[in-house]
């Protein structure tokens, strides 16, 4: 699906930085195509309802479109045609058994939180970008990432609803253990030197934000997601956190 490309910056440095940024995103979006293909298989293996299967298939199509957008923008800014590459080992990567608890954990971390962060970031990038065409691209991505985060939440809710008592306890324990291990990551972890190259507030007119702002968004989404999960599980008590007490 062709996209309407934004105007090219005049200076070489800005074009190079933006090209590298979108190439990085292209690699991530390209890999996400396989992630949602695997999710569909896992949902099928656990007897998920048609609605979840449909959402997963739609999310995979979204990621194909996102990859197309990102590769087009990378090519646009870098001045050379860049296309997706082969993933020879992807077939074996997609085959595995998964439990309801494992699916709930991954859907919460990668879907509810991960896609939620991606949505918030893209929303803000849409507001930062001065080029209307670029702003529209960010808006499209934000809209799709919101749906992907919703899918994550829908899977967690479904797993808690259909699991027997033993499975529900396993889901809660798995989520608790995961939260115990990841909370400090979301609050204290900084970005690697490579990751930092993709956050540059000097390019805010093109939608890039500072590392500090990105980390703030990540913390906010994590805490909002934790509160929502506690309410979903039904263990929210005034002044106490379920994940600390389990």
Exposed, middle or buried by CB within 10 Å (0-12, 13-18, 19+), for 200?
Answer: middle
Between 183 and 12, residue with greater pLDDT: 12
pTM over 0.85: yes
Q: What is the pLDDT of residue 246?
A: 43
Q: Given pLDDT bands bounded at 50, 70 and 90, which one contains residue 181?
A: confident
Between 188 and 111, residue with greater pLDDT: 111
- Distance, CA of 206 to CA of 6 (rounded, Å): 10
Q: Given pLDDT bands bounded at 50, 70 and 90, which one contains residue 189?
A: low
Q: What is the pLDDT of residue 24?
A: 93
Tell me the β-bridge partners of 240. Answer: 237
Query: Is the Cβ–Cβ distance between 57 and 33 less than 8 Å?
Result: no
Mean pLDDT of 131-150: 97
Alpha helices, H only, the chain: 12-45, 50-78, 90-93, 100-106, 116-128, 132-162, 165-188, 193-196, 211-233, 242-245
- Distance, CA of 141 to CA of 134 (rounded, Å): 11
Q: Is the pLDDT of residue 116 over 60?
A: yes
Alpha helices, H only, 46-99: 50-78, 90-93
Tell me the β-bridge partners of 237. Answer: 240
Between 230 and 138, residue with greater pLDDT: 138
Q: Given pLDDT bands bounded at 50, 70 and 90, which one contains residue 241?
A: low
Mean pLDDT of 16-43: 94
Q: Given pLDDT bands bounded at 50, 70 and 90, which one contains residue 201?
A: confident
Q: What is the pLDDT of residue 229?
A: 92
- Distance, CA of 220 to CA of 228 (rounded, Å): 12
Q: Given pLDDT bands bounded at 50, 70 and 90, which one contains residue 94?
A: low
Query: Is the Cβ–Cβ distance between 42 and 90 less than 8 Å?
Result: no
Mean pLDDT of 184-206: 75
- Distance, CA of 98 to CA of 85 (rounded, Å): 28
Mean pLDDT comparison of 80-89, 145-154, 179-188, 206-215, highest-scoring range:
145-154
Candidate from 6-10, 63-67, 88-92 with smallest mean pLDDT: 88-92
């Amino acid at each position: 699906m062709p996209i309407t490309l934004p105007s090219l910056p005049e200076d070489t440095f800005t074009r190079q930085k933006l090209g590298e940024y979108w190439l990085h995103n292209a690699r991530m979006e390209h890999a996400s195509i396989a992630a949602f293909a695997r999710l569909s298989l896992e949902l099928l293996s656990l007897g998920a309802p048609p609605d979840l299967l449909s959402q997963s298939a739609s999310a995979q199509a979204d990621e194909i479109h996102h990859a197309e957008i990102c590769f087009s923008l990378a090519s646009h800014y870098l001045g050379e045609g860049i296309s997706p590459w082969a993933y020879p080992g992807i077939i074996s990567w997609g085959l595995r058994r998964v439990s309801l608890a494992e699916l709930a954990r991954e859907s919460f971390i990668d879907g509810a939180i991960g896609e939620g962060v991606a949505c918030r970031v893209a929303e803000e990038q849409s507001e930062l970008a001065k080029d209307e065409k670029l702003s529209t691209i960010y808006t499209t991505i934000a809209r799709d990432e919101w749906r992907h985060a919703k899918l994550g939440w829908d899977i967690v809710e479904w797993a808690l609803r259909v699991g027997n008592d033993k499975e529900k306890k396993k889901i809660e324990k798995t989520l608790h253990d995961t939260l115990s291990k990841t909370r400090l990551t979301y609050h204290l972890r900084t970005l690697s030197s490579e990751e930092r190259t993709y956050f540059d507030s000097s390019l805010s007119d093109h939608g890039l934000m500072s590392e500090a702002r990105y980390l703030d968004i990540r913390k906010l989404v994590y805490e909002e997601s934790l509160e929502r999960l506690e309410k979903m599980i039904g263990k929210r008590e005034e002044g106490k956190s379920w994940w600390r007490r389990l």
